[in-house]
Structure 1
């Protein structure tokens, strides 16, 4: 019992230390005096309103993640998921795009859920977000086509002309990339039996299987309407 308590304390201090480190990395280049002056001069009514809506959005994001995790067969508390999401935001301030890995790692440690499955659910989230973003961009382009054309001509006209003049170089580059990817895929398929005998094959296969299981959660999820909300 004492050993478990010591381990729990060490884990708590470890993650607390990581949090303090990330916080320091995120503010080390800020002028704290200027920040404090801005805080004193801020209109707190708008600040609290913004904080309220930000908090609500983060809670809904945690709920949405819970829907995907529940599809995996795990029951997670909202508080744990919410804390992991907020920890991910903190990690992003120190190392951009590290937040997704950080929140999956933290929740995996706390709730005993495979990391690869959790990361698969995050990929599902991002795929869904990308589809929504693409749909919004499509409608904006349709309804603001003239405005978009003027913007592109003013800001990217010379660049587009330059790219067009080097179209053959770009085409060759694309063909080289496609040929390289095709060659890699062919070699993997041709030597698949030998690859299966390698020591790292089974761990990699299990990791990818778990990742794919997490990605498929968005398809198997029962409460899709709530997820969309």
Structure 2
């Protein structure tokens, strides 16, 4: 965050925000986000049911929200956290749950690629201008032309082969093989889903809601209210690429990508910075509140399990 905002005049950003924000649109964005989280909960249940059992909707939803909250504390920790939470309250295998989460993430990657291709098809000039303005392609070419790159790759390959041969003769390897078998069951659960079309529809719905979370926020600010849905799609997709960075909730990279994208559509740098700051904060404020509430409520609604132990 400091790296992205270090050169901005915070007084100017504050003045931009003082021009007026329609908070009802931000509230609508939060509700749209809540709908996506609930849909993700149902989709996860559909993956879990064939290999374990149908989990309770409340436990699954609260586990998902705790996972989102954990991602704001430690990057990528949410995927493990929600599996651990659900395993505790539903008595299901963590390894199998992790396998189902990997399937979920693969589906999300596919959807992100589809959205990126859609943006490239509809806004090719904007995206190429963005890439050439914000990417130093010479650094990429230097990586592939350096002899050290290939030396490192060779050393890694030899190291992995040696380690694998040595590790296969140890007792932890046998235990890991058992965990891998359970993980594979979870990963392959998608083949046994009862209603595959419903699973696909939930995936599409989740990503439509993600797009709307950003686009409806355009109407909260006068300087973005005139932008088209295509501009919203570009900001959403390029911002999503920023979320791939291993930082808490995309903090920093997401802001940079959104600010740079909005500039392509005529929004000033300070206005884009104000938009990114408020939108990211409002979306993640909901996650913080629901994450904390989930951690409080889960033990209460499952108290009978603890009493029975």
Contact kept? 2:84, 2:94, Cα under 8 Å: yes
User: Structure 1 pair 167/83, CA: closer, same or farther in 2 (3 Å)?
Assistant: closer
Q: Deviations over 1:198-229 (max 9, x none)?
A: 22122111111111111111233221111111
Q: Which has the higher contact order (CA 8 A, sep 6+)?
A: 2
Instruction: State the shift of 1:71 in Å.
Output: 1.8
User: Structure 1 pair 84/226, CA: closer, same or farther in 2 (3 Å)?
Assistant: same
Instruction: State the shift of 1:52 in Å.
Output: 2.6
- Equivalent residue, structure 1, for 2:181: 209
Structure 1 length-normalised TM: 0.69
User: Structure 1 pair 167/204, CA: closer, same or farther in 2 (3 Å)?
Assistant: closer
The match for 2:170 among 198, 217, 223 is 198
Q: Deviations over 1:100-145 (max 9, x none)?
A: 1111000001111111110111010001110111122123223333
**Large movers: runs of 4+ above 6 Å:** none
- Equivalent residue, structure 2, for 1:34: none
- Equivalent residue, structure 2, for 1:179: 154
RMSD, matched Cα:
2.6
- Does residue 168 in structure 1 map to residue 145 in structure 2? yes
Structure 2 length-normalised TM: 0.53
- Does residue 66 in structure 1 map to residue 15 in structure 2? no
**Where do 1:12-161 residues align within 5 Å?**
45-156=24-135, 159-161=136-138
Where structure 2 has 5 or more consecutive residues not aligned to the other structure, the ranges are 1-16, 202-309
More helix by share: 1
User: Structure 1 pair 227/172, CA: closer, same or farther in 2 (3 Å)?
Assistant: same
